[in-house]
Each structure stands twice: as structure tokens, then as C-alpha cells.
């Protein structure tokens, strides 16, 4: 009689022990709820810190201005102007960087505003390192919370970008010619760029990055060379095959 060799057990995971789709969905839902709760707690903490820091910083500047010849609402005006000037210049600095423009002026305004704010905090503080640090804390905390808030505004949650469904599935219907990875600034300028390209083609002019950018800037749009490059890439991608060639042989997309 022939003895049958025992079949070795698989070292892999038992399929019965594999997580079921329902279990995965449950864990995913718990993770989403946890992230939302964490975000809400963080936002509440940031609001509390930002409001307290702003109130203390504004009060310091107000008191200094009032004691140096700016009574009543003038002192509050000085506080509002000085504290919000740093926020406004920081936003303008980010905008200019995004557009590839010069940043010297907003950067200079930001540095001056921060230095003046810190000076107003410490001018009447106790003459010690601890006193100076305690006096500067509100202004530093307020600026830090603004910086963190602007950083959060830059983030795009996964699956919520243009051309994607809420479930994270990319839109493949072809209605968005620019694709799911298009920059919001490029997406906003793309219709105007397409119209400019059509106008250039109709008049027999060369459709190039320079000519399209020149038309957009003449219409009041601010865009950098990098944005113009992205626009031309999407303009090429949305040009239908078999479209009529420009009447001018030199009118080619470059």
C-alpha cells in the first residue's frame, strides 16, 4: 500500500483570516472620522491661540501709541494697521512668488512690520530677557498662527482635486481637457488662453507662449512665464486633431 505524503501547510495567511471589504470600510471610516476630529481640535486650538495672541499684541501696540500722543481711536488705528500690515504683506509675498514676480517690496514691508510690532511689544516690558520674551510672545504667536493657517490653506485633500469624484476616482469623461493635475491658476486662465490662441490663429499670427501671454496680460491677467508654459501645454493638448492650420505658415505653436 502506498502512503500518501502529507501536503505541507502554506506559510501564507489563511484566506479566512484576511480582512473583509466590510472590515476595511469600517477601518477607513474610523480613520476619516479620526482625521476630521483631529482637524477640528487643531482649528479650535489655533483659533484660541490666534485670538488671544492678537488681542494681547493689539493691546500692546494700542497702549504704546496712546502713551505717545495718539489718543482714542487713533491708538487702535495704529494697532490695527501695524498688526495687519504684516499679514497683508505676507499674503502679497506668497502671491508674487506664485506668479514669479519680484518680492522685494512686500518682503521689505513684512520685515519692517514685524520689527515695529516686536518693538512695540518690548518697549515697556521688564528690562530682562524673560520680560522681553514674555512681551514678544503675543506678536510671535499671532504671526505663527497666521503662517500655519496659510499653510493649511495650500493643502488639497487627497481625491478632492479637479477632475476627481468625491470617492477619489478620477473623472474620465473627458470633459476636463486639462487633466486632474492642473494648477488652479492655470485652470482659471485656460479659457482665456484658448480664446487668445483662436484669435491669433484667425488673424494668421503665430500662436506661441509669448503671443498668448502678451494677449492675456493686455486683458489684465497677471501670469508668470512658468504659468504661460503650463497654459501652452494645455492649449496644445486641447487642440482637436485635424483642426484647420493657421493661414500663416509661420503660425505654429512653439
57-61, 157-161, 187-191: which has the minimum mean pLDDT? Answer: 157-161
| pLDDT category of residue 125 using cuts at 50, 70 and 90 | confident
pLDDT at 248: 43
Q: Is the pLDDT of residue 177 over 60?
A: no
Contacts of 79 (CB under 8 A, 6+ apart): 57, 58, 59, 61, 62, 65
pLDDT at 20: 54
Q: Is the pLDDT of residue 174 over 60?
A: no
Cα–Cα distance, 58 to 47 (Å, whole number): 16
Q: Is the pLDDT of residue 65 over 80?
A: yes
pLDDT at 254: 45
Host H or E run for residue 189: helix 184-202
Tell me which range, 3-12, 29-38, 92-101, 108-117, is most confidently predicted by mean pLDDT: 108-117
Q: Residue by residue, what is the 3-state secondary structure of 26-76?
A: HHHHHHHHHHHHHHHHHHHHHHHHHHHHHHHHHHHHHHHHHCCCCCCHHHH
Cα–Cα distance, 174 to 167 (Å, whole number): 18
pLDDT at 123: 82
Q: Specify the 3-state DSSP secondary structure of 247.
A: coil
Q: Based on the number of CB atoms within 10 Å of its own CB, is 235 exposed (0-12), middle (13-18) or buried (19 or more)? A: buried
Name the average pLDDT for the chain. Answer: 73
Average pLDDT on 97-104 reads 80
Cα–Cα distance, 206 to 247 (Å, whole number): 10
Cα–Cα distance, 160 to 146 (Å, whole number): 24
| pLDDT category of residue 22 using cuts at 50, 70 and 90 | low
180 vs 170 pLDDT, higher one:
180
User: What's the angle, vertex CA 254, arms to CA 196 and CA 176, rounded to 5?
Assistant: 55
pTM (2 d.p.): 0.47
pLDDT at 58: 84
Q: Is the pLDDT of residue 203 over 60?
A: yes
Amino acid at each position: 500500500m502506498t502512503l500518501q505524503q502529507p501536503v505541507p501547510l502554506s506559510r501564507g495567511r489563511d484566506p479566512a483570516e484576511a480582512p473583509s471589504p466590510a472590515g476595511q470600510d469600517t477601518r477607513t471610516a474610523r480613520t476619516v472620522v479620526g482625521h476630521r476630529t483631529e482637524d477640528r481640535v487643531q482649528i479650535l486650538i489655533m483659533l484660541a491661540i490666534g485670538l488671544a495672541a492678537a488681542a494681547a499684541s493689539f493691546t500692546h501696540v494700542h497702549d504704546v501709541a496712546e502713551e505717545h500722543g495718539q489718543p482714542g481711536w487713533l491708538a487702535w488705528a495704529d494697532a490695527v494697521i501695524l498688526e495687519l500690515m504684516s499679514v497683508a504683506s505676507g499674503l502679497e509675498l506668497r502671491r508674487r512668488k506664485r506668479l514669479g514676480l519680484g518680492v522685494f517690496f512686500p518682503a521689505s514691508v513684512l520685515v519692517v512690520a514685524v520689527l515695529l510690532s516686536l518693538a512695540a511689544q518690548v518697549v515697556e516690558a521688564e528690562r530682562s530677557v524673560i520680560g522681553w520674551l514674555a512681551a514678544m510672545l503675543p506678536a510671535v504667536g499671532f504671526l505663527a498662527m497666521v503662517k500655519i493657517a496659510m499653510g493649511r490653506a495650500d493643502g488639497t485633500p487627497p481625491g478632492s482635486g479637479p477632475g476627481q469624484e468625491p470617492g477619489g476616482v478620477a473623472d474620465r469623461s473627458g470633459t476636463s481637457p486639462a487633466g486632474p493635475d492642473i494648477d488652479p491658476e492655470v485652470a482659471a486662465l485656460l479659457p482665456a488662453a484658448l480664446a487668445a490662441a483662436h484669435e491669433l490663429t484667425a488673424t494668421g499670427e503665430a500662436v506661441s507662449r509669448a503671443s498668448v501671454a502678451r494677449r492675456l496680460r493686455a486683458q489684465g491677467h497677471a501670469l508668470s512665464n512658468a504659468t504661460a508654459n503650463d497654459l501652452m501645454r494645455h492649449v496644445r493638448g486641447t487642440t482637436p486633431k485635424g483642426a484647420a492650420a493657421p493661414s500663416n505658415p509661420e503660425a505654429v505653436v512653439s
